[in-house]
Amino acid sequence: MMNMRLVRRDTPLAGGQVRAFVVGLLIALLFGAVLLILSGHSPITVYSKMFDSALGSPRGWSATLTRAVPLGLAGLAVAVAGSMGMWNIGAEGQIIAGAIGGAWIARIAPELPGPVLIPAMLGAAVLGGAFLALGPALARSRLGVNEIITTLMLNEVAIRVVRYLVNGPWKDPEGNNFPIAPELPEQSALPTLFERANVGVLIAAVVVIGFGLWASRSAWGYELKIAGSSEKTAEYVGISMRAKLFTVLVLSGAIAGLAGGIELTGSSSRLVEGVANGYGFTGIIVAALALMRPSGVAAVAVALGAVQIGGEAIQTQGVPSATSNILQALILFGALTAAVFSEYRLVRSAAVPSGAAA
Quick: pLDDT tens for 37-60: 888 888 898 889 889 999 999 999
Instruction: Give the percent of the chain with pLDDT over 70.
Output: 95
Burial class (CB in 10 A: 0-12, 13-18, 19+), 329: middle
Q: How far apart are CA 219 and CA 166, in angstroms?
A: 44
Taking each helix axis as running N to C, give the angle between helix 58-82 and helix 200-217, from 0 to 180 degrees, rounded to the nearest 10.
40
3-state secondary structure 19-68: HHHHHHHHHHHHHHHHHHHHCCCCHHHHHHHHHHHHHCCHHHHHHHHHHH
Check: CB of residue 326 under 8 Å from CB of residue 32.
yes
What residue type is 188 in one-letter code? S
Task: Determine the pLDDT at residue 2.
Answer: 56
Distance CA 205, CA 240 (A): 30
> Residue 336 pLDDT > 80, yes or no?
no
Q: Contacts from 104-113 at CB under 8 Å and sequence distance 24+? A: 106/184, 106/185, 106/188, 107/170, 110/185, 111/185, 112/187, 113/187
Angle, in degrees to the nearest 10, between helices 279-289 and 58-82? 80
pLDDT 10s digits, 166-206: 999 999 998 888 999 999 999 999 999 998 899 999 999 99
Mean pLDDT computed over 67-93: 94
Q: How confident is the model at residue 160 (pLDDT cuts 50, 70, 90)?
A: very high
Nearest CA among 280, 208, 262 for reference residue 99: 262
Residue 148 near residue 140 (C-beta atoms within 8 A): no
Identity of residue 298: A
Instruction: Please report, as a single letter, which amino acid is at residue 245.
Output: L
Which tops the pLDDT comparison, 319 or 124?
124
Contact 229, 161 (CB under 8 A): no
Q: What is the mean pLDDT of residues 25-44?
A: 86
Q: What is the mean pLDDT of the chain?
A: 88
Among the listed residues 294, 116, 267, the one whose alpha carbon sits nearest the alpha carbon of residue 201: 267
Question: Which residues, in sequence order, are CB contacts of 32 under 8 Å at separation 6+?
Answer: 43, 323, 326, 327, 330
